[in-house]
Amino acid sequence: MPRAAAPAARALTAPCSGHTAAVTHGRLRHPYLDHPAPIPFAHRGGAADGLENTAAAFRRAADAGYRYFETDVHATADGKLVAFHDSTLDRVTDGTGRIAELPWKRVREARVAGTEPLPLFEELLEQFPDARWNVDVKAESALHPLVDLIARTGVWDRVCVGSFSEGRVARAAKIAGPRLATSYGVRGVLGLRLRSYSVPAALRVGAVAAQVPETQAGIRVVDRRFVRTAHARGLQVHVWTVNEPERMEALLDLGVDGIMTDRIDILRTVLDRRGAWA
């Protein structure tokens, strides 16, 4: 076993954090998904104002009533886990350079929109103890630090790990076991889509959700058939990134289980109007 995986493996023998699995779509549900209504996710904390993935953005979302946050992680050159979307600092900060090639002392000097520091993911876990996090692992170098952090802090019920890379998520699941909530990557979503048309396709066992765009390259991904197939496998369907109220309404009518949005104000209004905010 790699040295970096040892803390996660040891933590699997520890008692869970007091949560028990519920039932969804006829199957046991991971405690991460313990929510009585469609899950509203604040995508990067609500990225519409330009302060994406900052403590300020997540605080604003929390103040608006959100308890599920989406974020991304990269590892610095010295192994610190930073909540940040891009591989480089250049697009949204006043800094420059690749995060993987910079030490944390350099990365922490950058400011998003010139004002807000980049947070460590561990800091966000501490600052928002009631929040649950959907974490997109953006680089292989961030995988072991993330699983180790989850194991060390015991936040198994508060984190779901996803990635475009099915292999990366599968490796996280192999290290951590069934206590770690994971979603399907691109390959898993494709397999689920094929199965929705009764085409045989291999699917990784153990995922708790399919987190997908509504369409991809002009091809519809989410329809009633896809949702029904996912639910039949005990999977929730979370759709990203939806900012228009009419699309939110249509997806909720299809029975999706969660929506990720930059426009936290609009999604709150839509769910309030439907009596579905919880």
DSSP secondary structure, the chain, as one string: --GGGHHHHHHTTSPP-S---EEETTEEE-GGG--SSPEEEEETTTGGGS-TTSHHHHHHHHHTT--EEEEEEEE-TT--EEE-SSSBSTTTBS--SBGGGS-HHHHTT-EETTTEEPPBHHHHHHH-TT-EEEEEE-SGGGHHHHHHHHHHHT-TTTEEEE-S-HHHHHHHHHHH-TTSEEB--HHHHHHHHHHHTT------TT--EEEEESEETTEE--SHHHHHHHHHTT-EEEEE----HHHHHHHHHHT-SEEEES-HHHHHHHHHHTT---
Beta-carbon count within 10 A of 260 CB: 23
Residue of 25, 35, 74, 85 marked catalytic: 85
Which residues partner with 10 through β-bridges?
A: none
Task: Express each pLDDT in 200-230 by its tens digit.
Answer: 999 999 999 999 999 988 989 999 999 999 9
Q: How many CB atoms lie within 10 A of CB 225?
A: 15
**Model-level pTM?**
0.90
- Please indicate whether residue 43 is annotated as part of the active site: yes
CA distances from 96 to 52, 72, 92, 141 (A): 17, 18, 10, 19
DSSP annotation string for 92-116: TBS--SBGGGS-HHHHTT-EETTTE
The yes-or-no verdict on residue 16 having pLDDT over 50 is no
Structure-model confidence comparison of residues 227 and 11, the more confident one: 227
Considering the chain, what is the average pLDDT of its residues?
Answer: 92
C-alpha dist (Å) from residue 45 to 14, 66, 100, 272:
31, 9, 23, 19
Mean pLDDT in residue range 128-139: 98
* Spatial CB neighbours of 148, under 8 Å, sequence gap ≥ 6: 4, 5, 7, 8
Give the tens place of pLDDT for each residue, 158-171: 999 999 999 999 99
Taken in order of first residue, the domains within the chain and their CATH numbers are: 36-273 (3.20.20.190)
Residue with more model confidence, 3 or 162: 162
Other C-beta atoms lying within 10 Å of the C-beta of residue 6? 14
d(CA 262, CA 242): 7
pLDDT given for residue 29 in this prediction: 85
Average pLDDT over residues 112-136: 98
Inter-CA distances, 17 with 132, 149, 190, 244, Å: 14, 15, 34, 37
Task: Tell me: pLDDT of 133 over 90.
Answer: yes
Q: What percent of the chain has pLDDT over 70?
A: 90
User: Would you put residue 12 in left (φ > 0), alpha (ψ -120 to 50) or beta?
Assistant: alpha
99: confidence class by pLDDT, cuts 50, 70, 90? very high
Residue 238 among the catalytic residues: no
With a cut of 70, say whether residue 84 has pLDDT above it: yes
Is a pLDDT exceeding 80 seen at residue 13?
Answer: no
User: What average pLDDT does this structure show over 143-162?
Assistant: 98
The active-site residue, picked from 19, 25, 30, 43, is: 43
Q: What is the pLDDT of residues 17-70, one digit of tens each?
A: 334 445 555 456 899 999 988 999 999 999 998 999 999 999 999 999 999 999
